[in-house]
């Protein structure tokens, strides 16, 4: 997934989009962790909803096809976030708790 992050960063740089936008949004998907305030099941659903690649990939495709550069830029930032998370070993969450992911337990 590190390669995906690198490719997405290069595409973002080539897009000419604002690096201020990048700085503002790179951690935005992690706001989904607030779902854990309602318990581990709700938290896992909320977190996973913003940490699967299908939605940002579709947004990037749609933005590109429709010529919507802002949508494409946001999608690339989102893809970069997810790819970096995966490269660092942070996977999709299981309902048993935040530390339990499809890649294994965090903090072993």
Q: Which two tokens stand for residue 96?
A: 């048993």
CA atoms within 13 A on the CB side of 37: 5
For the cut 70, the answer to whether the pLDDT of residue 98 exceeds it is: yes
Q: Which two tokens stand for residue 4?
A: 């995906």
Question: What's the DSSP call for residue 26?
Answer: T
Can you give the pLDDT at residue 108? 61
Can you give the pLDDT at residue 105? 85
pLDDT in tens, 17-73: 999 999 999 999 999 999 999 999 999 999 999 999 999 999 999 999 999 999 999
Q: Which of 36, 60, 81 is nearest to 90 (CA)?
A: 81
Give helix 54-66 / helix 69-87 axis angle, nearest 10°.
Answer: 150
Number of domains in the chain: 1
Q: Is the dihedral of CA 102, 41, 78, 61 positive or negative?
A: positive
Domain that holds residue 49: 2-105
């Amino acid at each position: 997934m590190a390669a995906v992050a690198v490719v997405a960063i290069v595409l973002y740089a080539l897009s000419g989009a604002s690096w201020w936008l990048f700085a503002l949004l790179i951690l935005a998907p992690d706001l989904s962790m607030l779902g854990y305030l309602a318990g581990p099941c709700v938290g896992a659903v909320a977190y996973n909803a913003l940490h699967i690649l299908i939605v940002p990939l579709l947004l990037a495709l749609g933005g590109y096809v429709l010529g919507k550069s802002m949508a494409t830029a946001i999608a690339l930032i989102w893809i970069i976030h997810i790819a970096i998370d995966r490269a660092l070993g942070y996977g999709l969450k299981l309902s048993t708790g935040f530390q339990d992911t499809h890649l294994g337990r965090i903090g072993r």
